[in-house]
Structure 1
Amino acid sequence: RLALATNYGSGSVAALPTARRPPTPVALWLYPAPVALDRRQSAADPTPAEHREGGKSADATDRRRQAQREDMPDGRNGLILPFRAESLLSFAEYVKVNRGHEEGDDEDPTRVARDMDRIAVARDGQDTASRVRFDLDLPSAAHDDIPLESGILLPEWDWKKQVLKKDMCSITVLDPRDAQPCPLPSRLIAPARRLRRQLEALTPARRWLKNQPDGAELDIDACVRAYADRRTGHVAGSDGGYLSCERRERDLCCLVLADLSLSTDTWVSDEQRVIDVIRDSLWLFSEALGATGDPFGLYGFSSRRREHIRFHRIKGFDEKIDDRIRGRIGVLKPGFYTRMGAAIRYATQILAKRPEALRLLMILSDGKPNDVDHYEGRYGIEDTRMSLNAARQEGVRPFCVTIDKEGQGYLPHLFGPSGYTILRNPAELPARLPGLYAQLTAG
């Protein structure tokens, strides 16, 4: 038998649904969960006052219930399990479930009591304990990532008031703690080699310019032609006789901004979560871009309200890809929420300092912008849209890669018709990301 309990007032009521078979009962008490009766009621009579009026029961089924008096548990022992050997002939199943409740006490205690077959009554003499609401908490300073910069204030767009509120958000730049250098996982070596060969076509090529007035080498053809002209009495041309090597550099850079919110902890297959797919994508992307020579940075973000937005530095533009960077990618873990507008604004500040002509911002996300302090729905969408408009004004080209199947409803409003792509299969992200980069930077 399972004893169930809930809070109503100052007394306590516990219900033990009786088994169909009548062997010796096994009572299972789970505390703290006393059901309280109104002090105005008699503890000996658990029937509510409105049910006793007129001597008739208000219960539509007119069910009769057993009642017994019990001592109030002292709370020191959370589990009391009287046991007798003959009870082995029966069994009960325990289901872990939380009773839903509103902010106040239950308005209808009879609704709960109606489902009880047996009611136990005990005097408590204490007021109903106050409820404590818990929220996601941050790790302690000893186990959190290492802060590099803290208290970077950023604005936020309030679409209801149509105003950009100054210094509304605070970003903390973090460096992964306990990130040990590690090599590329063996399962990714072959895909990384294949992607590097594909992106080698983007490597800047050298071209020799002939008849230059100055250069690293002599232009043999020009020298022979000038000698022949002089021997035949012709005036030699004024063009130079040197070869000059011209290297056409790709004048671009890329910042990858990965969503590290708690939603990335969901499973996309029997073997991988979204965060695992993001790790693989960053590993392969960084290996593939090593073949192009283009400068790039890797960052991640999560948030918990506007005053604590976490911006993870995985690889800066001035760092080379090595085992140290691979180790940082390997320790990435899901965070909290997705305050995307602030993260885009800070990423734009980083890209605005770059000298390249094309500055690409690639955003990896798995859902809508959201946070617990009203940063959801249209508020989060409009703030993100304003941050993207500000990025374009700074010469940054944003592009979103998402696995959100419902993204078609809001992504065109944010990124435009050609500023995003939706992957139906999240497992395709590691292989698709370098190819998308090649398309965006071609020409």
Structure 2
Amino acid sequence: METQIEMARKAIITPQMTKVAEQEGLDAEWIRERVAEGRIVIPVNPNRQHQNIVGIGFGLRTKVNASIGTSSDIADSNLEIRKAQVAEEEKADTLMELSTGGNLDEVRRLVLENCSLPVGNVPLYQAFAEASRKYHNPGKLDSEHLFEIIEKQLADGISFMAIHCGINRYSIERLRNQGYRYGGLVSKGGTFMVSWMEYNNCENPLYEQFDRVCGLMKKYDSVLSLGNGIRAGAIHDSHDRAQMAEMVINCELAEIGRDMGCQMMVEGPGHVPLDEIEGNIMLEKRMSGGAPYYVLGPLPADSGAGYDHITAAIGAANSARHGADLICYITPAEHLALPNEEDVREGVRATRLAARIGDIAKYPERRELEKKVALSRRDTKWDEHFQLLMFPDKAQEIRKSRTPENQKTCTMCGDFCAMARGKEIFSGDMRGDKIAD
């Protein structure tokens, strides 16, 4: 089987490329060219018959990923199914199934069966979870078993994988030489891989056998998302030598994998001050040759726990503005607890709004919806207004909870409605597209 990027390089426009073009309002040949360049990826494992088609990358709407998954404390497969369905209901574009507790094969397969989103995961989670159960020591993981797990998960229908290929002995040495970190290591997969390397005094097999990883991904045309295992977990660690060592390696691997005919993404950056986000994205794009950037957060502050979906939305809007392609949501439970269904809902909504804000700046020509929203608000056409909003149910709920005496206004201004008074004064002066249909 040939991958999307291999077919694009043969000037073949696949049905998936055509679908992405229709969704984005772009020319299918233009999409094909960007896929051939590796600047757009389409995660669609052919082993899974029913899944949404999503394009991620240059020139496309910024996409939103929702993450779910069990833990060693809470392992309820039915809860994860409901969370996956909430994520789809709230219009997330992709889903990551990140379970570490319970029957991991069962949870993954149930999620794949019960939602239509392209599903990704982190194979190191299952590998180290099984090693911990079997040996009571994740350091005793057999590296061959890791590759077996990768293929098993791909065979189930996983469409993209975050695989920590960029961690190596050199990047760990940078961590030691800089005196470790303020925020430590925050990637579960990354931390356990570092631990495995230290325990076994070995190089990372995912780095050493990168061609083998790419071969497995190509077999299922799954997107290889180069995991950010040494990402900063605190803004004071942002762009330290360890993080940058891994970023350089991941960007180099993205180029190598792309040359092998594998669809590639790069992940990053974690916690980053607001003033460093643009530079981070510029570096990733420059060093990787424009590979799609899957942004985790980013969180531009460390002190917002309980509202980190808002903290991250601020970082996500800036990331989308400067060229990030896929944003991993953050929920209100981040840093505190395993997310529940309502956390998933709020996380997706906050991140979708952030991506929209970023896209309004990134693509000024795509602001027509905002104009229609403004006109319906100005003219107090409430029914039309609600239909145009991203979250009409929430807006209607708030309005109905405080019903105004005059239905043309709202209880914020009541008889002192600025919209009504302004229109009364200037109605004779409106012309062109300032006159609503």
Shared fold (TM-score, shorter chain, > 0.5): no
Structure whose residues are more often strand by fraction: 1
Q: Which has the larger radius of gyration?
A: 1
Q: TM-score normalized by structure 1?
A: 0.25
Structure whose residues are more often helix by fraction: 2
Q: TM-score normalized by structure 2?
A: 0.25
